[in-house]
Amino acid sequence: MPEIVNIDINDKGYPEKLKMIFGSKAPALYLQGNTELLNTHSIGFCGSRNSSPKGKDAVRDCASQAAKNNIIIVSGNASGIDFEAHYNALFSGGATILVLPEGINHFRIKKALKPVWDWNRCLVISQFLPDDTWKIYRAMTRNKLIIALSGAMIVIEAGEKGGTMNAGLETLKTNVPLYVAEYQDMSEIAKGNKKLLDMGAKRIAKNRQTGKANMNHLYHDIFDPPTSTSSEQLVFL
């Protein structure tokens, strides 16, 4: 079991992107795992705990693609979308950062994650005191850290209210690009997605030719890879 390390804004290796987002209020961090994952290309994921089958399919697709392109997956260690993001990053041979809504002393590896868990490809982070317990406001605060650690954010399924919608709104206030999954009938499974898209979020849709989510524009926002071609046809996820 790796030891827990505590770093703050004055320490070497403290993420520059956190300094850019939080300024002088950048939080001290408690870390466990591979700290080299802190300063790498990353995508944050946020979505409902009670995600639909379509939402789970979307996050599995996006997380797996990103992991295979050496992009770190960042999410909040909750059930539903968060779990699928972490699991599929590791299953695909990639790495993941788990950002906790509580003190790091409360962290336990979820049973369903153990088959793919590898401390060399995992980093657990908390900005709270080690023994702090879960609180709603801490979960909201945790979302801001996920945003700050990410080169871009993906909202998979957002309700009209709640933590996922809050994360999307907070992302729009920053210079972190926000991508939102676009479904054929968002009035049923993702009412908040349409609102975020109407407010300026970029869409993620499925490439008709490959049957996979088009991630190229998102990659471009992170590290300028080849972008999609004009012949690419996008359909709903």
Please write down the HEC assignment for all residues of 11-68.
Answer: CCCCCHHHHHHHHHHCCCEEEEECHHHHHCCEEEEECCCCCCHHHHHHHHHHHHHHHH
Q: 4-60, pLDDT tens digit by residue?
A: 999 999 999 999 999 999 999 999 999 999 999 999 999 999 998 888 888 999 999
pLDDT at residue 99 is higher than 60: yes
Q: Decide the pairing of beta strands 122-126 and 96-99.
A: parallel
What is the rounded CA–CA span in Å between residue 136 and residue 124? 19
Residues 6+ apart with CB under 8 A from 193: 155, 157, 158, 180, 181, 182, 183, 186
CB 181 within 8 A of CB 58: yes
**What is the amino acid identity at position 192?**
G
Q: 161-190, pLDDT tens digit by residue?
A: 889 999 999 999 998 999 999 887 776 778
CATH class of 4-235: alpha beta
More confident residue, 184 or 131: 131
Burial readout 132-170 (b: 16 or more C-beta within 10 A, e: otherwise): beeeeebbeebbbbbbbbbbbbbbbbbbeeebbbbbbbb
pLDDT band at 225 (very low <50, low <70, confident <90, very high): very low
Residues written for the chain: 237
CB 17 within 8 A of CB 145: no
pLDDT at residue 139 is higher than 80: yes
Location of structure tokens 């401390």: 119
What is the rounded CA–CA span in Å between residue 93 and residue 116? 9
State both tokens at 70. 């050496």
Arithmetic mean of pLDDT, 152-156: 96
Location of structure tokens 């320490």: 11
